[in-house]
């Protein structure tokens, strides 16, 4: 059966005013499709634009240009009640559960809030939904009467997840949901998210700089570099060998995941260039060990090199379909 696109991002741009009148192009003409029921892992170094893209998809951050189609409908210009209804379908789990929970309110009120606001659910029904959710995320309904400071980091992230799921969303952006947690707790929260994704048929954008975490949860991987998507592949294809030199370097830097012998590991040298002033040609050429003249002058486009596999590179590291060379 052909997968149904749930979110289709077209030429999406997000720009911020930087210092000295410069414009930070955090998301640059991104095209990306997320299919119903899948978890897409979005990876890349800090500052490459992952959070901005995720936040723009659910319009926590307003895009500067381009389209975000949710079930075929562009939601970038929607306002008022029409948007509020759709907004309930699109939720976010944040990295820092403590920072995103109001310390003075009870857990039941915190979890119920998006349900009452976005769906207009009655108080009694909301209470029942909240109780069930607190059970489902493993805290137990008794947790509803307590306050955020009474919980550990992992428990607070469970509260954050319950709150995001309260309005029964179809699409969830999880932005580094386990990076603030101890490694021993990370696996528990990832397992919980995986169970909830399966039980509820959720579609998810899972943002992380940690490839080890992404490998446990994502069906497909999208790699971002300086505001652009530079590779999209199934999880198995990506971990078997990325097609973009940047993905290769990222994977090579995680010894436990890399298939390369130690002596062949590739080091990613140099800083991420300034997003307000990206290099000409391929933006990765300044750090790429394979770069040739064309990479310094011509910007590559994101193209399908094998079925289901896209790469933005003049010299991909895998055979290109239809190529005779």
Ligand X SMILES: Nc1ncnc2c1ncn2[C@@H]1O[C@H](COP(=O)(O)OP(=O)(O)OP(=O)(O)O)[C@@H](O)[C@H]1O
Q: Does 52 bind ligand X (CB under 6 A)?
A: yes
Least Å distance, CB 72 to ligand X, is 27
Query: Interacting stretch for ligand X, rule CB under 6 A, among 50-58, 75-83, 212-220, 240-248?
Result: 50-58
Q: What is the dihedral of CA 148, 106, 144, 203, to 10 degrees?
A: -70
Going across the sheet that includes 5-17, the strands are 23-35, 5-17, 65-70, 73-74
Q: Does 247 bind ligand X (CB under 6 A)?
A: no
Phi/psi of residue 82, each to 5°?
-60, -45
Q: x/- site string to ligand X, residues 65 to 104, per CB under 6 A?
A: ----------------------------------------
Q: Does 316 bind ligand X (CB under 6 A)?
A: no
Using the minimum distance from each CB to ligand X, give the nearer residue, 24 or 233: 24
Using the minimum distance from each CB to ligand X, give the nearer residue, 48 or 218: 48
* Number of residues in contact with ligand X under rule CB under 6 A: 13
Using the minimum distance from each CB to ligand X, give the nearer residue, 202 or 223: 223
Least Å distance, CB 261 to ligand X, is 30
Q: Does 51 bind ligand X (CB under 6 A)?
A: yes
Q: What are the residues whose beta carbons fall under 8 Å from the beta carbon of 53, sequence distance 6 or more?
A: 9, 12, 14, 26, 27, 30, 42, 224
In the 8-state DSSP scheme, what is residue 115?
I
Least Å distance, CB 277 to ligand X, is 11
Query: Interacting stretch for ligand X, rule CB under 6 A, among 45-53, 108-116, 214-222, 278-286?
Result: 45-53
Residue 137 contacts residue 64 (beta carbons within 8 Å): no
Query: Interacting stretch for ligand X, rule CB under 6 A, among 48-56, 68-76, 101-109, 141-149?
Result: 48-56
Beta strands at 228-234 and 220-225: parallel, antiparallel or unpaired: antiparallel
Tokens of 92: 């976010």
CA quadruple 278, 282, 287, 292: dihedral sign: negative
Going across the sheet that includes 220-225, the strands are 90-93, 171-175, 203-207, 39-43, 220-225, 228-234, 309-311, 303-306
Q: Does 177 bind ligand X (CB under 6 A)?
A: no
Least Å distance, CB 206 to ligand X, is 13
Q: Which of 47, 43, 51 is nearest to 209 (CA)?
A: 43
Contacts (CB under 6 A) with ligand X, residues 19-38: 24, 26
Query: Interacting stretch for ligand X, rule CB under 6 A, among 47-55, 79-87, 144-152, 257-265?
Result: 47-55
CA atoms within 13 A on the CB side of 61: 20
* Binding residue (CB under 6 A) for ligand X from 6, 39, 43, 49: 49
Footprint on this chain of ligand X (rule: CB under 6 A):
16, 24, 26, 44, 46-52, 209, 275
């Amino acid at each position: 059966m052909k997968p149904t696109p749930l979110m289709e991002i077209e030429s999406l741009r997000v720009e911020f005013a930087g210092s000295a009148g410069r414009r930070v192009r955090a998301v640059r003409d991104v095209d990306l499709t997320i299919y119903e029921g899948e978890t897409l892992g979005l990876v890349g170094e800090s500052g490459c634009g992952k959070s901005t893209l995720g936040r723009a998809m659910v319009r926590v951050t307003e895009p500067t240009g381009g389209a975000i189609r949710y079930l075929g409908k562009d939601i970038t210009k929607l306002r008022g009640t029409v948007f509020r209804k759709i907004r309930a379908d699109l939720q976010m789990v944040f990295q820092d559960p403590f920072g995103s929970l109001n310390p003075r309110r009870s857990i039941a009120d915190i979890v119920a809030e998006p349900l009452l606001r976005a769906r207009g659910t009655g108080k009694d029904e909301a209470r029942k939904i909240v109780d069930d959710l607190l059970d489902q995320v493993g805290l137990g309904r008794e947790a509803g009467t307590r306050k955020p400071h009474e919980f550990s980091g992992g428990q607070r992230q469970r509260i954050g997840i319950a709150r995001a799921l309260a309005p029964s969303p179809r699409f969830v952006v999880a932005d580094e949901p386990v990076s603030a947690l101890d490694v021993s707790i990370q696996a528990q929260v990832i397992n919980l998210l995986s169970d909830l994704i399966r039980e509820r048929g959720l579609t998810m954008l899972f943002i992380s700089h940690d490839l080890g975490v992404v490998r446990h949860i994502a069906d497909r991987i999208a790699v971002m570099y300086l505001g652009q998507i530079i590779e999209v592949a199934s999880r198995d294809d990506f971990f078997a060998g990325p097609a973009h030199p940047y993905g290769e370097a990222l994977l090579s830097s995680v010894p436990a995941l890399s298939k390369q012998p130690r002596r062949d590991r590739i080091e990613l040298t140099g800083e991420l260039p300034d997003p307000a002033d990206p290099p000409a040609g391929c933006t990765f050429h300044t750090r790429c060990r394979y770069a040739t003249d064309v990479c310094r002058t011509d910007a590559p486009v994101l193209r399908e090199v094998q079925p289901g596999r896209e790469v933005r590179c003049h010299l991909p590291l895998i055979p290109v379909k239809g190529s005779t060379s």
